[in-house]
Amino acid sequence: MAVKDLFDLSGKVALVTGGSRGLGREMVRAFAESGADVVIASRRLDACATLANEVRDEFGHRALPVAAHVGRWDDVERLVDAAYTEFGRIDILVNNAGMSPLFGSHLTAVTEELWDKVQGVNLKGPFRLTALIGERMMDGDGGTILNISTTGAVDAYPESMPYHLAKAGLNNMTLGFARALSPKVRVNCIMPGGMLTDVATHWDMEYMEQHALPKIPLHRFGRPDEIVGAALFLVSDASSYTTGAILRVDGGPYLP
């Protein structure tokens, strides 16, 4: 294959959860610019529809907006049905949707309801979506699946522990599905570090700049678009011999 064709997604269909904003939005746009039709899923249909219109206008590719709460298996199944009804196939699945609600200063403040919500969106939903789409990929022409985790999955912090533990499960799930769906489906994972998405508006930036930045070798937080290179690599033919990989995109190993 010519080098210029390694990242070409022409003729592919990509489904991205949490696709209407942040890292998901950047990946949707990058996939469409690289030739793919896209399914944009999040809980807000209006945000998905706005991005879908942008994709059609700017890149000339088909874009299907779908409202879905990935923590609910009925929504996951409806999302899969909608995607296959519209396109007849999914070649790329990106499990990007996530949530990490605040719960106070003590871990005893984590309620059962909050715990279940966090596990549902970050782990239970991706498992079901990967199982449903992965099976169809196996029965068809194969495909690629990309999970979006976090560096906290291997270095949990108390203030985000339910989220980090769920993402640790997602890392392990990556390895399990890489084995279960081989050899026709490749399954990989990206662990982003601190990215300046809308989530960063809730950070204590003064604290982060004083205590976190000095520990990052690149001495800055990431831009949302800086996920694109790694994502394109892992969902395209450029990574044809890569599966079960977990790639850090975090400005360098976090120093003690």
Q: Concatenated DSSP letters for 209-254?
A: IIIIGGGSTTSSPBPGGGGHHHHHHHHSGGGTT--S-EEEESSSPP
- Encode burial over 15-45: b for 16+ CB neighbours within 10 A, e otherwise: bbbbbbbbbbbbbbbbbbebbbbbbbbbbeb
C-alpha pair distances (Å), 100 with each of 161, 193, 227: 9, 14, 19
Cα gap 31→55, rounded to integer Å: 10
Pairwise CA distance, residues 148 & 174, whole Å = 10
The question of whether 163 is a catalytic residue gets the answer: yes
Q: Phi, psi (5° rounding) for residue 5?
A: -95, -5
CA dist 121 → 11, 104, 212 (Å): 29, 20, 27
Instruction: From 180, 66, 191, select the one nearest 127 (Cα to Cα).
Output: 180
- Altogether, the residues listed in the chain come to a count of 256
- Tokens linked to 56: 């059609």
Tokens 């782990």 belong to 123
Given the residues 163, 207, 241, 254, select the one marked as catalytic.
Answer: 163
Question: Would you name the residues annotated as active-site residues?
Answer: 163
